[in-house]
């Protein structure tokens, strides 16, 4: 029997040749949009006391520049509560040189969004976009950050935005805010990042001007850029007209421990249990708690799967079906830190779960398997954060404001490699021997108090 075989057609030959040529051409892979992660962070202090930090990643197609002030909510007084959130929603309003319309119109034309974010320690104004567009938009960033003019009618027009942000908080965000207040009490790091409801109709322009005058100064300022040459940021910092010194007073972070309950009814309870963590000023302890955070469990780590071998995940699997979520959190500040667990569950199932969570936090050690898994996940988390230029610029700004220096992604992975299981267990022992705080919201009739857990 003769088998007939068709010879390749001319079209097939052309396609094969074209595919082969394209395969040879694609051996050179273009760098990712955010550039390569193996870069150095350059830091310089200017005569006007402004700190400049730059990630000069020449491969990056996107540039980000952030002007950061050490003026977060921990610097608010009782009378100025909520002033930082007012500054956040006022970003983009009229300045000394531009109207609100001019700022919005020109930034939209250049496709360079300007955002303002507020934390417990810093306020940051961030501009991002294509490198050529960011260069043209830097004047608007500087003016919004340092030359704001708080017109009374514009401040009043922003009150509805404050109400929306206040009402759109998730229960988890509300509980984390409460556990800070329970741990540090009603001052410093215990101040809420949201404006109190009773202050919504009493926003004073004078309070905004006073806060800016006291804390928007050269000694409290840093300019951080990614995909930008440090020489450009130095010239930008020299042009900013700020007072060198201002008010340096801040409430020290003292971990008091305590309990706050907000009974709001419903059928779900939200609970946060926390102890003292690590500050930015102690790198070894900082990285140890980062590994402990991942070792205990911070949710499902692999997308679209439920596989999780962490101690908190084991509690979740053994709990009733109505336990919705349980995850560890780790907040780091310049002179303190807050480490704990946030859980969400049906009110009737809370008693059989919260005791197991509290015992896990007070174990004082982790297994070798959890340590190795936590270290690898911590590395991946830092590297993924570095790939996102927006979040990494914020990390650099926090490091610079706290330590006067910053770590590159490669330095962070090397530092994590140097952490041993003994270091992580020492961090766990510090957590175990420290004071604990608990905050809860929702239906609380079955939520035990802190004194009951300590028995």
Task: Give the model confidence (pLDDT) of 104-123 as tens digits.
Answer: 999 999 999 999 999 999 99
pLDDT tens figures, 367-412? 999 999 999 999 988 888 777 666 788 888 888 888 878 888 888 8
Question: Both 221 and 113 in a single domain?
Answer: yes
Residues 211 and 302 in one domain: no
Does 202 lie in the same domain as 80? yes
Query: Is 27 inside any structural domain?
Result: no
pLDDT digits (tens, 9 = 90+) for 263-317: 988 889 999 999 999 998 889 999 999 999 999 988 666 665 555 678 888 877 7
Tell whether 357 and 443 lie within a shared domain: yes
Residues 162 and 308 placed together within one structural domain of the fold: no
Cα separation values, 396 from 42, 106, 134, 223, 399, Å: 11, 28, 19, 10, 5
What span, in angstroms and rounded, lies between the C-alpha atoms of 115 and 90?
A: 11
247 within domain boundaries: no
CATH code at position 114: 3.30.830.10
Whole-structure pTM value: 0.86
Q: Per-residue pLDDT for 233 more than 60?
A: yes
- How many Å apart are CA 309 and CA 370, to the nearest integer? 8
Name the more confident of 192 and 30. 192
Q: What average pLDDT score do residues 426-448 get?
A: 92
Give the model's pLDDT for residue 388.
67
Distance (Å, whole) CA 142 – CA 132: 17
In a domain, 30, yes or no: no
Q: Are 219 and 300 part of one and the same domain?
A: no
DSSP 3-state of 118: strand
Query: Residue 222: pLDDT above 90?
Result: yes
Pairwise CA distance, residues 34 & 62, whole Å: 6
Q: 229 with 361, same domain?
A: no
Alpha helices (H) along 250-310: 283-296
Confidence at residue 36, expressed as pLDDT on a 0 to 100 scale: 56
Range of the domain at 332: 258-454
The domain tally of the chain equals 2
CB atoms within 10 A of CB 20: 10
pLDDT tens digits along 320-362: 665 678 899 999 998 899 999 999 988 888 888 888 889 889 8
By the 8 A CB rule, do 36 and 59 touch? yes
Q: Are 367 and 310 members of one domain? A: yes
Of residues 183 and 244, more confidence is placed in: 183
């Amino acid at each position: 029997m003769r088998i007939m075989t068709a010879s390749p057609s001319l079209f097939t030959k052309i396609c094969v040749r074209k595919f082969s040529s394209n395969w040879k051409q694609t051996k050179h892979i273009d760098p990712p949009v955010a550039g390569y992660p193996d870069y150095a962070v350059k830091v310089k202090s200017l005569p006007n006391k402004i700190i400049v930090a730059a990630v000069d990643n020449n491969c990056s197609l996107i540039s980000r520049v952030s002007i950061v002030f050490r003026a977060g909510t921990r610097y608010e007084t009782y009378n100025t509560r909520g002033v930082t959130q007012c500054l956040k929603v006022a970003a983009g309003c009229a300045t000394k040189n531009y109207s609100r319309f001019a700022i919005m119109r020109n930034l939209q034309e250049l496709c360079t969004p300007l955002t303002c974010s507020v934390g417990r320690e810093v306020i940051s104004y961030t501009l991002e976009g294509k490198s050529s567009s960011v260069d043209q938009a830097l004047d608007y960033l500087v003016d919004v950050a340092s030359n704001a003019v708080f017109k009374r009618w514009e401040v009043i027009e922003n009150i509805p935005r404050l109400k929306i942000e206040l009402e759109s908080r998730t229960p988890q965000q509300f509980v984390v805010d409460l556990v800070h207040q329970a741990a540090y009490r009603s001052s410093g790091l215990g101040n809420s990042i949201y404006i109190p409801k009773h202050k919504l109709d009493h926003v004073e322009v004078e309070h905004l001007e006073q806060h800016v005058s006291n804390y928007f100064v050269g000694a409290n300022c840093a300019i951080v850029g990614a995909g930008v040459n440090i020489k450009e940021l130095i010239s930008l910092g020299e042009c900013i007209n700020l007072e060198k010194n201002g008010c340096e007073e801040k409430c020290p972070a003292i971990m008091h421990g305590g309990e706050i309950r907000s009974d709001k009814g419903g059928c779900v309870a939200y609970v946060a249990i926390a102890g003292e963590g690590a500050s930015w000023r102690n790198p070894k302890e900082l990285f140890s708690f980062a590994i402990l955070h991942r070792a205990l469990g911070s949710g499902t780590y692999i997308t679209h799967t439920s596989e999780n071998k962490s101690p908190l995940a084991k509690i979740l699997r053994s709990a009733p079906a109505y336990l919705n979520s349980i995850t560890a959190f780790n907040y780091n500040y310049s002179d303190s830190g807050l480490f704990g667990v946030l859980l969400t569950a049906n009110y009737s199932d809370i008693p059989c779960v919260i005791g197991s969570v509290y015992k896990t936090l007070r174990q004082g050690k982790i297994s070798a398997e959890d340590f190795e898994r936590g270290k690898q996940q911590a590395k991946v988390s830092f590297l993924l954060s570095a790939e996102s230029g927006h979040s990494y610029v914020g990390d650099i700004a926090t490091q610079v404001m706290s330590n006067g220096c910053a770590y590159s992604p490669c330095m962070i992975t090397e530092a994590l490699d140097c952490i041993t299981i003994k270091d992580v267990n020492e961090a766990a022992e510090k957590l175990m021997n420290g004071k604990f705080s608990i905050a809860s919201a929702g239906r609380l009739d079955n939520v035990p108090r802190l004194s009951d857990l300590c028995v």
